Structure 1
């Protein structure tokens, strides 16, 4: 990923905001240890910190964590902070799925950065996202199914064939207020990376 790459601005849902708040301290621990963490272990570590069963981490599949990490990059990239999500790696390769110009250099910047110093700034950004998310009107299940079906009819053959296996997750994201284009784009990118 080029160092200046800023994720495409999209509406941040309540689940995005809640999960970023929960993921950040786990990633700070990983960075402090100068280590990396797989998607699966990240989900498990956040679950350990958030034992309440209604927390969105319990609906989160590790392979769909990309949207949440993109939300964290919506905080770091515009401020010129290093991409702390580069410490999240796939289990198979041990590398981040994003293509960094120089992964070792990005990891070194992340390790040298004072993450605790921006914790309050992230909390304020999350508060802003939460206020914005309150204006998003979530869909009922029937509405979410209809939006997904129309999108698939209008965009045949554009997405990876395996995307249909994520029907439940797509519907859940739509019900939470996520944008259908964003949902499919993130899943498609993750399926290509898993390739």
Structure 2
């Protein structure tokens, strides 16, 4: 994981992870066929394929970048090329600003298109469970220090 990915990954929500798990197989399909989609088209495809998942049905293009960041983290962990380079802006025809500032999207797409995706795992579930647990653990309130508790009871 790069420092940039790690920094952004620290604020991941359960919704981000759920949406990433839906986007990942769509992106593999795109890679196999050497295609790109806009953010809106990705969301529309996800909604069409998963009408029963509320998070998918409520998804909007704004914020999709942070969901793709979870996909990027997953692909980095597995040594895969960056599938998120296949998602482009409708207005610019290129990846989002965050990606453009850090990577060469043309080079990323070349790597994606030349990779043998038939060998890639479609199992996002283990990652989903692990990440969900990390997010839940992070959200738990930290226990008060013993000295703070004793002061509270002595007041």
Shorter-chain TM range is 0.7 to 0.9
Residue 92 of structure 2 corresponds to which residue in structure 1? 93
In the superposition, relative to structure 1, how do residues 57 and 120 fare at CA in structure 2: closer, same or farther (>3 Å)?
A: closer
Q: How does 1:75-154 map to 2 (within 5 A)?
A: 75-97=74-96, 98-99=99-100, 101-120=103-122, 122-135=124-137, 137=139
Matched, 1:74 2:76: no
In the superposition, relative to structure 1, how do residues 84 and 49 fare at CA in structure 2: closer, same or farther (>3 Å)?
A: same
* Residues 39 and 90 in structure 1, CA contact (< 8 A), matched pair in contact too: yes
Unaligned runs of 5+ in 2: 141-155
Greater shift in the superposed pair: 81-90 or 7-16 = 7-16
TM-score by length of 2: 0.74
Q: How does 1:1-195 map to 2 (within 5 A)?
A: 6-7=4-5, 8=7, 9-52=9-52, 54-97=53-96, 98-99=99-100, 101-120=103-122, 122-135=124-137, 137=139
Give the RMSD, CA atoms, in angstroms: 2.3
Return the offset for 1:94.
0.9
Rg larger in 1 or in 2?
Answer: 2
Distance 1:50 1:109 in 2: 28
Secondary structure at 1:21 match in 2: helix
Distance 1:47 1:69 in 2: 16
Distance 1:123 1:86 in 2: 22
The count of aligned residue pairs is 134
* Residues 17 and 126 in structure 1, CA contact (< 8 A), matched pair in contact too: yes
1:130-178 C-alpha deviation (Å, 9 max, x unpaired): 222333549xxxxxxxxxxxxxxxxxxxxxxxxxxxxxxxxxxxxxxxx
